[in-house]
Chain A
Amino acid sequence: DAGVIQSPRHEVTEMGQEVTLRCKPISGHDYLFWYRQTMMRGLELLIYFNNNVPIDDSGMPEDRFSAKMPNASFSTLKIQPSEPRDSAVYFCASRGDRVRNSGANVLTFGAGSRLTVL
């Protein structure tokens, strides 16, 4: 298994531009999570999906952020318009739904997308 795949690995953009981050979860995983990591705020959960349906988006900072999961193998996180304070590493993670073993308790993270907004 190739693990959770994220793209781009690095993105540098100017304030006001649209940014789209992409994620391919591990095949068979039913849950997908988007986290943001900064020095000041640590790892914050932005949103998570179950079977492609958004379940909890209370961590999404504001309307400039949106996330979609059109199918089981693809999700996007979009920021429009981007601002310098959005600069962070954005991680996608997935996990299975096998509640009778440890798989349900293990988050597998992608390598992250480092976003810099100038």
Chain B
Amino acid sequence: GQSLEQPSEVTAVEGAIVQINCTYQTSGFYGLSWYQQHDGGAPTFLSYNALDGLEETGRFSSFLSRSDSYGYLLLQELQMKDSASYFCAVRISGQNFVFGPGTRLSVLP
């Protein structure tokens, strides 16, 4: 089977830095994605890591360690609008993406 683990909830204050971890055990691995979903909205793509290391896109960065089956999403200079659920997703085959249970991030003023 496929198993992805994320913390269920994270709380931080505006301007802070928060890290959301994801560990996975899957039958295949092509890469690790991160998606953001606001309440009532659709998941939207944030990042994709196929190789080990850190990828930076503005305030968001994503890290992957394939040997540790681990990745994280780093959000800097938190803003209220960052309050949402964040999902990691493993591409286990050419076409199949398996999603984690999601982490609900609450940003406090």
Tell whether A61 is near chain B: CB-to-CB under 8 Å: no
* Chain B residues positioned under 8 Å from A45 (CB to CB): 96-98
How close is A69's CB to chain B, nearest CB, in angstroms?
Answer: 14
- Give Cα distance in the complex from A31 to B95, angstroms: 8
* Chain A residues positioned under 8 Å from B102 (CB to CB): 42-43
* Chain A residues positioned under 8 Å from B41 (CB to CB): 111
On whether A110 and B42 interact (CB within 8 A), knowing A43-B87, A105-B48, the answer reads yes
How many A residues have CB within 8 A of the partner chain?
20
- Give Cα distance in the complex from A91 to B99, angstroms: 13
Are B48 and A106 interface neighbours, CB within 8 A?
A: yes
**Chain B residues touching A, majority SS:** strand
* Chain A residues positioned under 8 Å from B35 (CB to CB): 107
Tell whether A56 is near chain B: CB-to-CB under 8 Å: yes
Tell whether A34 is near chain B: CB-to-CB under 8 Å: no
- Give Cα distance in the complex from A55 to B100, angstroms: 22
How close is B108's CB to chain A, nearest CB, in angstroms?
Answer: 23
The residue on A at minimum CB distance from B43 is A109
Are A91 and B42 interface neighbours, CB within 8 A?
A: yes
The residue on A at minimum CB distance from B33 is A105
Nearest 7 CB-CB pairings of A with B: A109-B42, A43-B99, A105-B48, A106-B45, A42-B101, A109-B43, A111-B42
Seen from chain B, the residues whose Cβ lies within 8 Å of a Cβ on chain A are 31, 33, 35, 41-45, 48, 50, 87, 89, 91, 95-102
Seen from chain A, the residues whose Cβ lies within 8 Å of a Cβ on chain B are 31, 33, 35, 42-43, 45, 48, 50, 55-56, 91, 102, 105-112
